[in-house]
Chains A and B, each alone.
Chain A
Amino acid sequence: MSLAANAKQTAIAATGNAFVTEAFRQIEPDALCAYPITPQTTIVEKFAQLVADGEVATEYVCTESEHSAMTATVGAAAAGARAYTVTAAQGLAHMWEELYIASGLRLPIVMINVNRALSAPINIHGDHSDIMGARDTCWVIIIAESPQEAYDNTIIATPVAEDLLLPVMSSLDGFITSHSIMRGDVVDDATVKAFVGEYTPCDDLMIGSPRTLGAFANLGPTYMKVKKAQRDAMDRGLASIKRVGDEWASITGRSFDHVETWGMEDAERAIVVMGSAAGNARAVARRLRAEGEKVGVVKVRTYRPFPVADIAAALANVDAIAVLDRAETFSAQAGPLALDVMSALYDAGINTPLRTYIYGLGGNDVKLEQMYQVFTDLKAVTTDDVSGVVNSTPRYLGIG
């Protein structure tokens, strides 16, 4: 409470990357290990400048690949450092096996991912393909809609990671959020530092006696028991994220919800979406509302653990649902977010007509017409006598 009373906020106009760098500067982690070459972002470029200028005491470890970046981050965290890294696209894909090591060793690493498409063909623009490769690695995943949220999520990620002893990935949409300048509020340094607090590592390698981390667990149920412990930690995730998010909200006045709803009190049709495209969906929903159409938008901010109950509650009373995915699974039915939403609804016994869409792959422009098209599709669905998933494969938006 005293933090909230003394906090000061300053409005700035900056890119998502600059907002994240500002949060990094304020948190001043012990170590930041990153690969400085493509697909790296200006977050590391700007942070390296802060280190060079002596503005932060962080140890900046420049590695020779993203695989090494995550390995070095794991090493630093195991040694007892508050260790961060930053990546994007192929970089995250290249880290994949180390992601499991970070979570298996229960290291509270914070990673910023500027989410982008995966090759081939080569494409450097924003979509969620890279995130989905990390989906099942036991990392907490929070996804920002805007530079402001990218800033807030970066700060929230630190206490969450250290509370759960799980790594947290905070992601923002490549270019749309990472490179677009938006107005936002940053909190004063002292408040941010007090909010994240001093870090006391658990079982670190620097306390004097040597240790074995992630010891051999080959035969019998040991490996499974350790994985169950990870699941138990992940199961505490939603409460932990919400608690930290609410505390941060009490300082900033910006609410935190795993699932953010717009117009859902009486909506008949809803779009479920993640990341920057939520703004496009809301813009169209607002116009349709002005014309008397009962539409709403459900934005997913916490992606792992997946907020099953919040999703089901948000969608309990609509007549038709559209789930928009910015990544493919190439599975029979739908994109990854749609599969999660469908599972959440099944769990809640909801069999509302649902359509799945793929949009914005490789940074393909997310135009308002696409959102109009989705709401129009949904209208047709509500007049047909259907239930459950409509059409067995997702509809591609924005390819003509």
Chain B
Amino acid sequence: MSDKWIKAGPSSIPENLDIDNFDNWAVEDFPIGMVGPAGNGAEYYTGGWRHEKPVWQKDLCKNCMLCWINCADTAVFMENQTVSGINYHHCKGCGVCPIECRFGALKMVPEHVDHLDPAAVAAAEGV
């Protein structure tokens, strides 16, 4: 990669971008290409799409991070480079992570099952 890629160009993001008021922006107020601050997806919850959810079983997890890298919604929590659970605000219940997990540490259970109750999780029909 050449160094000439890395240089600051003119930004189309206004100095005082009043994001909360975007409904009232005029056409020319929008940053070109709809560019905005990064990371605001964290504030937008998409977990309501599930009918099943993955339950992470700490005892079985080897921290291989396959679930983390394969989750299209970045809904696997990491703390200090260690998988630490599922972000149910964002997990869409697609069922990919239990299939990727080679150690049976993720189990897909119906949404109504209490994931904090190991007995209920064990009793639930799952993947």
Contact = CB atoms under 8 A, between A and B. Distances in A.
Interface of A: 30, 57, 59, 79-81, 104-107, 165, 198, 200-204, 206-217, 220-222, 225-226, 228-229, 232
A225 B1 contact: no
Contacts of B44: 216
Contacts of B27: 225, 228-229, 232
A226 B30 contact: yes
A204 B33 CA distance: 11
Contacts of A222: 22-23, 25, 30
Candidate in B6, B28, B34 with the most chain A CB atoms within 10 angstroms: B34
A165 B12 CA distance: 11
Contacts of A220: 23
B16 interface: no
Contacts of A209: 38
A265 B4 CA distance: 49
B33 A165 contact: yes
A220 B34 CA distance: 15
Contact of A206 (B5, B12, B13, B38): B5
B73 to A, nearest CB: 14
Contacts of B22: 222
Nearest to B4: A30
A215 B36 contact: yes
A221 B30 CA distance: 12
Given A212-B36, A212-B38, A220-B23, A229 B30 contact: yes
Contacts of A106: 32-33
B8 interface: yes
Interface of B: 1-2, 4-13, 22-23, 25-28, 30-41, 44
Contacts of B5: 30, 79-81, 206
Contacts, number: 94
Contacts of B25: 222, 225
Contacts of A201: 7, 9
Contacts of B9: 80, 200-204, 207
B115 to A, nearest CB: 28
B34 A104 contact: yes
Given A80-B5, A210-B39, A216-B44, A202 B34 contact: no
A213 B11 CA distance: 13
Prevailing SS type, chain B contact patch: loop
A202 B10 contact: yes
B62 to A, nearest CB: 30
Given A104-B33, A201-B7, 5 more contacts: A30-B2, A30-B4, A81-B5, A215-B35, A226-B30
11 contacts: A30-B4, A59-B2, A79-B5, A80-B7, A201-B9, A211-B37, A217-B34, A222-B23, A225-B26, A225-B27, A226-B30
Closest A-B pairs by Cβ, 4 of them: A210-B38, A106-B33, A105-B33, A201-B9
A203 B35 contact: yes
Contacts of B39: 210, 212
B24 to A, nearest CB: 10
Contact of A200 (B2, B10, B33): B10
Given A216-B44, A225-B25, A206 B6 contact: yes
A77 to B, nearest CB: 10
A226 B34 contact: yes
Contacts of A217: 34
A32 B28 CA distance: 31
A105 B4 contact: no
Contacts of A232: 27-28
Contacts of A204: 9
Given A57-B2, A200-B9, A207-B9, A213 B33 contact: yes
Contacts of A213: 33-35
Contacts of A229: 27-28, 30, 32
Contacts of B38: 209-212
A60 to B, nearest CB: 12
B45 to A, nearest CB: 13
A212 B26 CA distance: 20
